[in-house]
């Protein structure tokens, strides 16, 4: 009986050593921008927090609504902002990666069909240790700057 308890406790210790990166990830505020009709692509954004003690990397993303899903960033190339794929998004231990318009994001390319506001898109984030996490991202209308208030004309 003693051998069995030693064996079981050893298995629990080993299981703890094999904890997956996905277990240490908390995703906040995930959303997908509603694409205009017939648009070929859109972006997904979120805050990815690493609650663990080791740095980790998101190396891939996938979703069922687009034929291609890539990790992207925006770069200033001679004064022109351009989107470029990145091989990974690194998240330091106890840190976070903010995926936002104009910065890092998940690019959904060659959309398979239209989306509607309020839909939920499952996005699978894959990490460098082979683990993955599915995030439900709500489709939202892009924020539009409010129109300037008309200037009031006063008679003198």
Question: Which residues touch 71 (CB under 8 Å, ≥6 apart)?
Answer: 58, 59, 60, 61, 85, 86, 87, 88, 89, 104, 105, 106, 107
Domains of the chain, residue spans: 20-139
Whole-prediction pTM: 0.79
**Which of 2.60.40.1890, 3.10.28.10, 3.40.50.2300, 3.40.50.960 is the CATH number of 20-139?**
2.60.40.1890
Per-residue pLDDT of the chain (156 residues; tens, 9 = 90+): 544 444 444 444 334 445 688 999 999 999 999 998 889 999 999 999 999 999 999 999 999 999 999 999 988 888 888 889 999 999 999 999 999 999 999 999 999 999 999 999 999 999 999 999 999 999 999 875 444 444 444 444
What does the pLDDT read at residue 80? 87
């Amino acid at each position: 009986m003693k051998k069995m308890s030693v064996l079981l406790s050893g298995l629990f210790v080993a299981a703890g050593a094999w904890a997956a990166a996905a277990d240490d990830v908390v995703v906040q505020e995930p959303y997908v921008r509603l694409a205009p009709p017939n648009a070929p692509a859109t972006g997904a954004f979120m805050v990815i927090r690493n609650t663990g003690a080791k740095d980790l990397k998101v190396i891939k993303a996938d979703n069922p609504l687009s034929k291609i899903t890539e990790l992207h960033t925006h770069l200033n190339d001679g004064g022109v902002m351009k989107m470029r794929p990145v091989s990974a998004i690194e998240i330091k231990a106890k840190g976070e990666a903010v995926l936002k318009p104009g910065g890092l994001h998940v690019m959904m390319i060659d959309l398979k069909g239209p989306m509607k506001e309020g839909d939920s898109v499952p996005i699978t984030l894959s990490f460098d240790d082979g683990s993955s996490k599915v995030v439900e991202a709500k489709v939202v209308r892009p924020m539009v700057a409010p129109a300037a208030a008309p200037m009031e004309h006063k008679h003198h």
